[in-house]
């Protein structure tokens, strides 16, 4: 009887910890643009249909080309991609959401050749124009939104149709955990308290 109670309590603690990790998992597929292998020191462009997770226009992917170091992994994307098609460039990705749930969004961006580079961004009810680029320096955008539907979409759209500009990397969307789920130590304490209470109760019964 004692071993069964202990097993149940331990499983409860483990389940809480797994919920914590699950709540913090990135909902964006290939947010670092590392799935399409590009030789180190080079760049290549791909139709978005060939880039895991993404849709829209072509995506240019760099791997340390020109000495640019990605903030996450070894590769990053350039939003203004090759070749010139006469229109602005836009890439997007949809992901499952829960109505009323808060989601945190972050990504890195940088200018390729001019501090005047800019692009528009949207995710759920979030919308922004990022126009504070700096050549040779990555900045991180952070924000959050509350889902209004069972599917949300993150979108990046270039300001002009040039084939030069707007580096992107490490796109992350996570569901915000509640207080209990976000604190593994608290979950462990609760589980241990349950174990202690169960053992004490069984002792009293005997």
The confidence score (pLDDT) of residue 24 equals 81
Lowest-pLDDT range, 14-18, 94-98, 186-190?
Answer: 14-18
With beta carbons less than 8 A apart as the criterion, state whether 60 and 81 touch.
Answer: yes
The confidence score (pLDDT) of residue 102 equals 98
Other Cβ atoms less than 10 A from the Cβ of 143: the count is 15
> With bands split at pLDDT 50, 70 and 90, how would you rate the model's confidence at 82?
very high
Is pLDDT at 105 greater than 60 in this prediction?
yes
Sign of CA dihedral 72, 110, 89, 122: positive
Lowest-pLDDT range, 14-23, 69-78, 152-161?
Answer: 14-23
Across residues 169-188, what is the average pLDDT?
A: 73
Residue 174 in tokens? 């996570």
- What SS3 string covers the chain? CHHHHHHHHHHHHHHHHHHHHHHCCCCCCCCCCCCCCCCCCEEEEECHHHCCCCEECCEEEEECHHHCCCCCCCCEEECCCCCCCCCCCEEEEEEECCCCCEEEEEEEEEECCCCCCCEEEEECCEEEEECCCEECECEEEEEEEECCCCEEEEEEEECCCCCCCCEEEEEEEEECCCCCCCCHHHHHHHHHHHHHHHHHHHHHHC
Is pLDDT at 184 greater than 70 in this prediction?
no
The three-point CA angle 116-50-78 to 5° equals 15
Is pLDDT at 20 greater than 60 in this prediction?
no
Q: Residue 6 CA to chain centroid, in angstroms?
A: 37
With beta carbons less than 8 A apart as the criterion, state whether 90 and 157 touch.
Answer: yes
With beta carbons less than 8 A apart as the criterion, state whether 88 and 157 touch.
Answer: yes
Considering the chain, what percentage of its residues have pLDDT values greater than 70? 75
> With bands split at pLDDT 50, 70 and 90, how would you rate the model's confidence at 66?
very high
> With bands split at pLDDT 50, 70 and 90, how would you rate the model's confidence at 119?
very high
């Amino acid at each position: 009887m004692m071993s069964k109670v202990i097993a149940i309590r331990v499983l409860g603690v483990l389940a809480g910890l797994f919920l914590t990790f699950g709540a913090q998992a990135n909902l964006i597929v290939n947010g670092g643009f590392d799935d399409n292998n590009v030789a180190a020191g080079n760049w290549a462009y791909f139709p978005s249909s060939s880039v895991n997770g993404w849709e829209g226009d072509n995506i240019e992917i760099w791997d340390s080309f020109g000495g640019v170091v990605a903030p996450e992994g070894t590769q990053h994307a350039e939003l203004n991609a090759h070749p010139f098609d006469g229109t602005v460039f836009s890439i997007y990705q949809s992901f499952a959401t829960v109505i009323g749930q808060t989601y945190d969004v972050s990504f890195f961006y940088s200018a390729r050749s001019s501090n005047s580079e800019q692009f528009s961004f949207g995710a759920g009810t979030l919308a922004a124009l990022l126009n504070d680029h700096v050549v040779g320096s990555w900045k991180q955008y952070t924000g959050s939104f509350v889902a209004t539907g069972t599917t949300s979409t993150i979108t990046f759209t270039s300001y002009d149709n040039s084939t030069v500009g707007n580096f992107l990397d490490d796109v992350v969307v996570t569901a915000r955990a509640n207080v209990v789920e976000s604190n593994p130590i608290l979950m462990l304490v609760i589980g241990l308290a349950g174990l202690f209470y169960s053992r004490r109760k069984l002792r009293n019964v005997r």
